[in-house]
Every structure is written in structure tokens, then in C-alpha cells.
Structure 1
Amino acid sequence: MNSNFVRRWRQQNWVMLLILVVQLLVFAGETFSGGSESGLVLVNWGAKYDPLIRIGEWWRLITPVFVHIGFMHILVNSFTLYYIGGAVEEMIGHWRFFLVYFLSALSGNLMSFAFGGGALSAGASTALFGLFGVYIALGVVFDDSMYYRQTGRQFLMLAAFNLVFDLFAQGIDIWGHIGGLLGGFLLIIVFALPGQKLRKGVYWQIGASVLFLAICAFLYWLGMVR
């Protein structure tokens, strides 16, 4: 295979683009199968619905990341994924981005499962808040870097603003956002940056790994028994 093609392929934010294409295709499927604001359509396409998770449909802790409710929902999340997701993938690499994105979605949906009251929910915002958490964590872990400190503060303010807005808005799954934010924060400590070791040591990575797994296990248990 041509080396220039391989180099260009590696430089493309292809994971972000693939996720974007899939969520747009899913939205089109929702639209043509009854409308993206129909509860039945949303459930059929994989939205988070607690009673079905409790009877074994565990994949609904991941699939909601592709499902959206209404045109503005898909529009805002798609633009956010394109700009912020592309920047994060370029910074941390393809496989790290893939894992952080979907594991943040998992922790966000688990938080919603445990504390969200059982409401039907969907959207990429659990994973997108995970990307906010990446920048916030980098400002803490690489606190000797002026760029990471300033960027971390900016995303902390952005996340805080969004969470305050969530408190006063209807139909917003604030627990999913909090869970995604926490997940992204811990996961970038686990995986670190390409070619860089954490100045604070490998114990931070081990601790973040154990804490992430413990939180996810606890949230799943709590959601199952509530």
C-alpha cells in the first residue's frame, strides 16, 4: 500500500467522521420510520429505556449515543462532535478517541440509569461531555503546560455553564452529562497522551482505571436495584 496514502489516512479524523456518519444515518432511519420524536421509534432504534436494560438489553447503555430526538438535537450534537471531537482525536489519536468516546457514553448512560428516574433518553451528549472532561483533566495532569491549564479552565467553564443550563431546561438528562464528564476526565488519565508519560506517575493511571471501573459497576448495580 502506498505510504503517502497510509500517512494521510492516519492523519484524518476518521473515527469522528465514521461516528458522525452513523448517527446521521440513524437519524434518517428514525425520521423515515415514524419520526425522531416518537417514543416507540426511539426505543426501536436503541434509546436508553431503563425497564428494557433491567431485563437484559444492556446494549442500550451504548446505542443511545447514535440516537437523537428532533432536528435541533442532531444538529447541535453533530456540530459539537465535528469540531471538538475532531480536535480531540487529532490530539490523542484514533484508538484513544474511540475508547474515550464510547466509554464516556457508557459512564454517562450508567449515571442516568442509576439516578435519572427511568425517563427515555438518547443523544451523543454523554460522550461529548466526556470530551469536555478530557480537556479538563489535561489541565490538571499536565499542569506545567500553560496551554493545557488555560484550555482546561475554558472547558471547565463550558461544562459548568451547560450543567447550570441543564438544571433549568426541560427534557435534559443532566445525570448523563455528569457521568460522561466524569468518565472522560478519568479515561484520559488512564490512556494518557501519545508519546507522553504522566508526570504524576503510573499510579494515577492505575488509580483512575480502578475508580472508573468501580464507579461503572456501582452505577450498574444501583440502576438494577432501584
Structure 2
Amino acid sequence: MNYQQEKPYVTWFLLIFTIGIFAAETLSGGSQNINTLLTFGAKTNNLVQEGQWWRLITPMFIHIGVLHIMMNGFTIFYVGQILEPMVGHVRFLFIYFLSGITGNLASFAFGSSNTISAGASTSLFGLFAAFLALAVIYKENRFLAELGKSFLGLIVINLILDLTMSGIDIWGHIGGAIGGFLVGLALGLPGIKRPKVIFRVLAMVSVVAISYFMYTKGMIVYG
């Protein structure tokens, strides 16, 4: 199958679904209302520690304010238009979800216990890092190499900005990038037998091991 001819259906679904959740937040009390955010599944470490594990998943669909949803919505659309046709629908969705989860786990393990976290940026940093993974695997491909450099620069610039701005969950971004890079290494491009199976397995095992470590650390620190 030629994925270059595929439409980015998953990207469109994620964007429409995320906008729909934001609309529901707005109608239910406001996207900046703490109670509304918690009701819809925003993450606070103490609630995860109490057993509400789904808050490591749901935050990637929740946004705080119009600017937040506009920025992340545009990025989902822009990056998805490029990456999904390259890797395929299933791979793209897998990267998006696992990056979001690893990002939220990093926030849980290393972030502030009282901060409310929400937003698709954990997943988006994973998508950025997936380009870097593809550039590493297929380094002889000039197009992928240039994409990898561009998105590496985007990751670095955004992390530097995170350090200068308040209210930004930098650990979520770092965790999402790590998850996206490892999942990108594990999956590669469809129809190409690279990287070798052993490297794919090691990358996925690393994702599981890192995720388990972060979850355990969060439970110890905040338990």
C-alpha cells in the first residue's frame, strides 16, 4: 500500500474529537474552570495516586483556554498532514497515544503534585520526535534527514521557551518526546525492513520500562 496516497483520516478525527471536547468543556462551565477540567479528566498527581489512572490518558484531549486549543489544534493538523501519510494510520495513532501517555507519566513522576495538567502537547512532542527517529533510521534519505533536523530544532526551541514561561509542563513535553522517539524507532516506515527486529523490540521494551519506572516513581513520591 502506498501511504503517500492516503488521506490523514486519523489526524482529522483527532482534531475534530479534540475540538468537540473543548466545546463540551466550554458549555459545561468553561475551559479554564478547575472543576470542569477535573470533571473532563485533567491530570493532578494526587488523583492519579488515588487510583484514577485514566488521568494519564485523558489530558491529551483537554485544553485550557482558546489560545491553548488553537495552538495545539493547528499543530495537530500541520504535523499530522506530513507524518500520517508517511507512517500510516495505525502507526500514527500508536505514536500519538503512547507519546501522550509517556508525557503524562513524566509529568506525574517529576512534575508538581498540585498542578493541573492538560493538552495535546505531550503527544505533539512525540510526533516531533518521531520525525527525528525516522531521520536516524533512514539517515541516507535526505528528505527525512532534513525533516529530522527541523523537528529537532523545534523540540529544542520549545523546551527552551518552556524554561522561560510559567504554567508550562516541561516534564510532559520531555516525556512525550522520549516516548515518540522510541516508538518511532520501534515502528519505522511501513514496508521497509528497518530497523532490525532486535532494535524494534529493544525500543518498545524501553518504552515499557521507562513508563513503569515513571509510574512507580510518581506513586512513591506522591503516595
TM interval, short-chain normalised: over 0.9
Could you list the runs of 5+ residues in structure 1 that have no partner in the other structure?
Answer: 1-6
Letter in 1 for 2:144: Y
Give the match for residue 63 of structure 2: 68
Moved more, 68-77 or 132-141: 132-141
Cα distance in 2 between the residues matched to 1:99 and 1:78: 18
The secondary structure found in structure 1 opposite 2:148 is helix
Letter in 2 for 1:191: L
- TM-score (ref. length: structure 1): 0.93
Question: Once the two structures are superposed, what CA deviation does each residue of 1:81-136 show, in whole Å capped at 9, x if it has no partner?
Answer: 00102211111001101111000000000000000112111000000000001111
Aligned residue among 174, 179, 183 for 2:179: 183
Cα drift, residue 138 of structure 1: 1.1
TM-score, with length taken from structure 2: 0.95
Structure 2 counterpart of 1:48:
43
Aligned to 2:84: 89
- Aligned position for 1:3: none
Alignment correspondent of 1:197: 193
Q: Report what 2:155 is aligned to.
A: 159
Identity %: 47
Which of 128, 134, 138 is the equivalent residue of 1:132? Answer: 128
Runs of 4+ displaced beyond 4 Å: none
Aligned-pair distance for 1:16?
Answer: 1.1
The 1-side partners of 2:51 and 2:122 are apart by 21
Aligned counterparts of 2:151 and 2:56: Cα–Cα separation in 1: 25
CA distance in 1, matches of 2:10, 2:142: 28
Deviations 1:13-46 (A, max 9, x none): 1111111111111111111111111111100011
Give the root-mean-square deviation of aligned CA atoms: 1.5
Q: Which residue of 2 aligns with 1:169?
A: 165
Aligned positions, number: 218
CA apart distance, 1:11: 2.2
CA distance in 2 between counterparts of 1:171 and 1:114 reads: 17
